[in-house]
Amino acid sequence: MIPDIIKPYLEHPLVRKIDETDLVVLDNPDLNNIIRAEDQLIRSVREFYLNKSNRSRLSPGQFSSSIMNARGLAFSDIAHYKSNVSDICEDVWNITPTTAERTSFNRTMKSSIIRRLEECGIIEFDSEKQNVVNYMPYAVGSKLYVQKNLMENVTLFQEQANHYGIIGMVQDFPELTSKLEESALNPSKFQRDRQALTEIDAIRSQVIRGRNFTFSRSFLAGKKAETSWLQALEDEADNIRVAVKALMDLQGQYGGFISHEEIVKATGWNSRQVTRLMRHVDYLGISQATHTLEMKDALSRATSGTLLNMNYHELDNAQAILVLTREVPETVAILNMLQKNKEISEEDLMDEFDNIGVQIARNSLKKIGLITKDGLSEGNWRLAPFRGNDRFINDVLAVTAKSWHVLEPDYDITNCLAEPFKKVSESEFQIKNLEQMKLDFYEDIDDKYNR
């Protein structure tokens, strides 16, 4: 039976060319799980290569399927709004940077990615392969690409099956490392693959009271994990838990993203103390250390009902826009205008809003990649035509609307967390104290969800 997700596209000329048997498998749970895990994998690979402190190179075979998938999906996505192959490849390069030489990238795109897209019938090119003349709807093409080029490629799939299996098992909750090994699709290469995922910081491991747990760097997703953490922090006799819970509550009111500077103001702690506090929170897994648009530290966690914790891979540090909406309130109105009109005049914005605020918003949105560089010299802001940008703006607006229910327009958080943090000395934030807190969380999810 053809999956419901495919049915709206059955009349598309490229979809009509696919055998029904090939369409039936496109809603396979294993395929869906791999596509979901792919987002985490390519984000980690991308950040590994963008981090200049990583001087080593990943072995090409370690993540070849993730890079191939990411480039194929990116190409088919960009083909929805660009037709020139060179222009599309330029965007794919920016989305999936590696240490590979550009000539090597171009050769791979031509001999592998473009060839595969054409062979699968996902993209049709002109005779010179210079322009896209037709493309398959992304909802179908993305699944078909992964199915044909990974799932049905036995050798490639076996080589990287453990990556997808491990990420799939720990995306939402931590898991005992022993269980991951027992479930490995390629047991003989489990240790190699687990180490490779650790190297790119896709997963982390901790021994808690003699039990070795593995968790995804971004497992902070969903109501289940949030509920279990609240349970683990409910101990009014434990000053550390009370202080951490107060910080998490405030971060929740802020839409799941709170900057280093805001934590300094709220707690009354100095910058060095807050840096260590954020490191401990990251260790616990309640929230992930990340950065703001100014490359300063922040804490980020999933925001229920949105995809702001996911990889908007065309955008740079997308979550940091939540801090921008607080620092520059005009941002919300500007995002509404961008979403509606796709292009707005900076002169009109200057007439309506504070000029300094408009300049900060322009520079930040350009850095994120939400507006294109072309047109800015003429004073025009153009929404970058990525497929997910409307959804991204919707998510940002949803989070800010919810946050502003509890935040006044001229909100001041100075010392709002001072009371609980006065009762905690920095020396109390030791690993041995944090381990029990984390173990309580792990045991709670085991009990509640029969894992």
Residues near 194 by beta carbon (within 8 Å), at least 6 away in sequence: 162, 166, 177, 180, 203, 214
Q: Residue 213 phi/psi, 5° resolution?
A: -110, 145
Task: Tell me which range, 187-201, 225-239, 292-306, is most confidently predicted by mean pLDDT.
Answer: 187-201
Cβ atoms 167, 204 nearer than 8 A = no
Cβ atoms 141, 18 nearer than 8 A = no
Cβ atoms 353, 414 nearer than 8 A = no
* Torsion angle defined by CA atoms of residues 144, 148, 150 and 156, in that order, rounded to the nearest 10 degrees: -170
Q: What is the pLDDT of residue 152?
A: 92
Q: Average pLDDT, stretch 217-246?
A: 75
Q: Average pLDDT, stretch 222-236?
A: 73
pLDDT per residue over 96-136, tens digit each? 777 667 788 888 898 899 999 999 999 999 998 899 999 99
pLDDT per residue over 269-284, tens digit each? 999 999 989 988 887 7
Q: Residue 133 phi/psi, 5° resolution?
A: -110, -20
pTM, full prediction: 0.69
Q: Work out the pLDDT band at 223, boundaries 50, 70, 90.
A: low
pLDDT per residue over 24-70, tens digit each? 999 888 888 888 888 778 878 877 776 666 666 666 567 888 888 88
Assess whether pLDDT exceeds 60 at residue 142. Answer: yes
pLDDT per residue over 7-16, tens digit each? 999 999 999 9
pLDDT per residue over 322-377, tens digit each? 888 887 888 999 999 998 999 999 999 999 998 998 999 998 898 888 888 877 87
Q: Look at 219 and 187; give whichever has higher pLDDT.
A: 187
Q: What is the pLDDT of residue 378?
A: 81
Assess whether pLDDT exceeds 60 at residue 313. Answer: no
Report which secondary-structure segment, H or E, holds 190. Answer: helix 190-199
| Residue in this structure with the two tokens 């330029």, named with its chain if needed | 90
In the chain, pLDDT over 90 holds for what percent of residues?
29
* Local structure of residue 131 (DSSP, 8 states): B
* Local structure of residue 371 (DSSP, 8 states): B
Helices (H) and strands (E) in the chain, counts: 22, 10
**Domains in the chain, CATH or no CATH each:** 7-152 (no CATH), 164-216 (1.10.10), 224-403 (no CATH)
Q: Work out the pLDDT band at 263, boundaries 50, 70, 90.
A: very high
Exposed/middle/buried for residue 45 (C-beta within 10 Å: 0-12, 13-18, 19+):
buried
Q: Work out the pLDDT band at 303, boundaries 50, 70, 90.
A: low
Tell me the C-alpha distance between 59 and 312, whole Å. 26
Tell me the C-alpha distance between 90 and 280, whole Å. 39
Assess whether pLDDT exceeds 70 at residue 304. Answer: no
Q: Work out the pLDDT band at 137, boundaries 50, 70, 90.
A: very high
Q: Look at 108 and 399; give whichever has higher pLDDT.
A: 108
86-95, 189-198, 344-353, 416-425, range with the lowest pLDDT = 86-95
Report which secondary-structure segment, H or E, holds 434. Answer: helix 431-449
Q: What is the pLDDT of residue 221?
A: 46
Could you tell me the two tokens for 216? 């995804």
Assess whether pLDDT exceeds 90 at residue 95. Answer: no
